């Protein structure tokens, strides 16, 4: 038996201090620096990655660095596996090709990736350790609510877009694909799933996915493609979850504004669903080909009184259709004119051709006046853009460029 070894009191105190220091010292992690050589490999292998696109000379980037690092330390203790959560950064001055690839227009920009796929919504919340950590925890939470009884379907919130998957078992490729899609689109739809005996009455032809649109009158829709095909499943669900006409709120205004497309907006009272349905139908009928050139939106008249005042309207005038080009606002005629074939489409074409802008400054185009009628320049002061004020603020970001708007 080895003889006992006794430390002197000073040595014991020193050893105890080192032990306590080792126990209490927080785990520190290196923020992964991304470049053209490693970016795809690191992002593709990360369940969730939060990437800070920054520039060293940007004061907002400098302020974020220690916060970002501390948030990474906090999350690393909760998710120690290196591929569970990755905090990474890109020096956009050193790697301008990566900045261009992800269309970085301001510093700092925080983008979220899942298994290499960039999420549409970047992080725009508070820049604090707690807020960033809470955001990652939310991203790691299960986006799918499990149904334990099919009767629960009757109590769903029908103001939301609901996607329900019925599966024989949870441990299946069908469900794994469904789960991947839910992780990406959970901000746009509510995802639910039932398994085994609970789901059996709905699995008469095998596993399936059902879309329940908002309201109680619209019929359910069934996904008919391969449930193991991620692209097919994702595209079908995205089409259902992200409507052609989206609602603009103060929460998503910055995101929509930064997309850089003019707004075609229906202002309507919240309870006026009839006008919204008419607008949605006419946009789908007349303007589907313009989807990539303008954002189709609807807004609550009560919440957006200020933009209405810009065009000399009040909630009492709703429904009102207008275009905000981020330079000026233009008002469509009488709302009921939207039912005239081609009328709404011409309104949008007049924006793109510059006709709306010219007419605000110089009166009707000569081709719009009667034969023999004298054409005069009519000076005017078109209402300035109201929604431009929702764009990213220079008090929060270093903005890289100004838009060239109509």
pLDDT digit of tens for each residue in the chain (406 aa)? Answer: 455 555 455 554 544 444 444 444 454 567 999 999 999 999 999 999 999 999 999 999 999 999 999 999 999 999 999 899 999 999 999 999 999 999 898 999 999 999 999 998 899 999 999 999 999 999 999 999 999 999 999 999 988 999 999 999 999 999 999 999 999 999 899 999 999 999 999 999 999 999 999 888 889 999 999 999 999 999 999 999 988 999 999 888 888 888 888 999 999 999 999 999 999 999 999 999 998 899 999 999 999 999 899 899 999 999 999 999 988 899 999 999 999 999 999 999 999 998 887 876 655 655 555 555 554 444 445 577 767 777 787 888 888 864 333 3
End of a domain among 190, 224, 241?
Answer: 241
Please check whether residue 266 lies inside any domain of the structure: yes
| Position 374 in a domain | no
182 and 52 fall within a common domain:
no
Judge contact between 273 and 217, C-beta under 8 A: no
Report the DSSP beta bridge partners of residue 50: 87, 112
Report the domain count for the chain.
3
The answer to whether the pTM exceeds 0.85 is no
Which of 197, 225, 241 is the endpoint of a domain? 241
The residue among 248, 384, 259, 254 whose CA lies nearest residue 304 is 248
* Nearest-angstrom CA–CA distance, 89 and 49: 10
Last residue of a domain, one of 86, 112, 140: 140
Tell me the residue length of the chain: 406
pLDDT of 377 reads 46
Give the pLDDT score at 385: 72
Q: Examine the domain organization and report whether 221 and 275 are in the same domain.
A: no
Give CA–CA dist 319/334, Å, rounded.
9
Query: Residue 201 sits in which domain range?
Result: 144-241
Residue 7, in any domain of the structure: no
- Given a contact cutoff of 8 angstroms between Cβ atoms, the answer to whether 151 and 192 are in contact is no
pLDDT at 405: 37
Answer yes or no: is 43 within a domain: yes
Q: What is the pLDDT of residues 298-356, one digit of tens each?
A: 999 999 999 899 899 999 999 999 999 988 899 999 999 999 999 999 999 999 998 88
The residue ranges of DSSP E strands in 206-294, in sequence order, are 208-212, 221-222, 245-247, 263-268
Encoded tokens for 6: 């006794």
By CB neighbour count within 10 A (0-12 exposed, 13-18 middle, 19+ buried), where does 176 fall?
A: middle
Run of H or E including 32: strand 32-33
The answer to whether position 21 is within a domain reads: no
């Amino acid at each position: 038996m080895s003889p006992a070894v006794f430390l002197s009191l000073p040595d014991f105190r020193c050893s105890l201090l080192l032990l306590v220091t080792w126990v209490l010292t927080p785990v520190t992690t290196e923020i992964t620096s991304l470049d053209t050589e490693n970016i795809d490999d690191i992002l593709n292998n990360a369940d969730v990655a939060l990437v800070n696109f920054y520039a060293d000379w940007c004061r907002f980037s400098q302020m974020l660095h220690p916060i970002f690092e501390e948030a990474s330390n906090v999350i690393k203790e909760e998710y120690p596996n290196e591929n569970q959560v990755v905090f990474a950064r890109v020096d956009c001055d050193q790697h301008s090709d990566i900045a261009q690839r992800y269309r970085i227009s301001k510093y700092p920009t925080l983008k979220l990736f899942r298994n290499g796929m960039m999420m549409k919504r970047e992080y725009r919340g508070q820049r604090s350790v707690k807020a960033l950590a809470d955001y990652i925890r939310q991203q790691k939470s299960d986006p799918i609510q499990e149904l334990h009884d099919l009767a629960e379907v009757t109590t769903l919130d029908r103001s939301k877009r609901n996607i329900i998957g019925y599966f024989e078992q949870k441990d299946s490729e069908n469900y794994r694909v469904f789960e991947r899609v839910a992780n990406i689109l959970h901000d746009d739809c509510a995802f639910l799933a039932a398994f085994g005996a609970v789901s059996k009455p709905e699995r008469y032809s095998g596993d399936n996915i059902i879309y329940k649109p908002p309201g109680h009158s619209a019929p359910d829709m069934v996904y008919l493609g391969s449930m193991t095909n991620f692209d097919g499943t994702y595209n079908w669900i995205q089409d259902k979850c992200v409507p052609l006409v989206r609602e603009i709120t103060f929460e998503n205004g910055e995101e929509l504004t930064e997309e850089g497309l003019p707004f075609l907006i229906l202002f309507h009272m919240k309870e006026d669903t009839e006008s919204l349905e008419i607008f949605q139908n006419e946009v789908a009928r007349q303007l589907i080909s313009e989807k990539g050139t303008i954002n189709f939106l609807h807004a609550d008249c009560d919440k957006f009184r200020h933009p209405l005042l810009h065009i000399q309207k009040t909630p009492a005038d709703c429904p009102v259709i207008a275009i905000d080009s981020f330079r000026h606002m233009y008002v469509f005629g009488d709302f009921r004119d939207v039912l005239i074939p081609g009328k709404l489409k011409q309104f949008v074409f007049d924006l793109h051709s510059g006709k709306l802008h010219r007419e605000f400054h110089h009166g009707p185009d000569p081709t719009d006046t009667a034969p023999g009628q004298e054409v005069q320049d009519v000076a005017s002061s078109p209402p300035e853009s109201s929604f431009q004020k929702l764009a990213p603020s220079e008090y929060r970001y270093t903005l890289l460029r100004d838009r060239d708007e109509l």
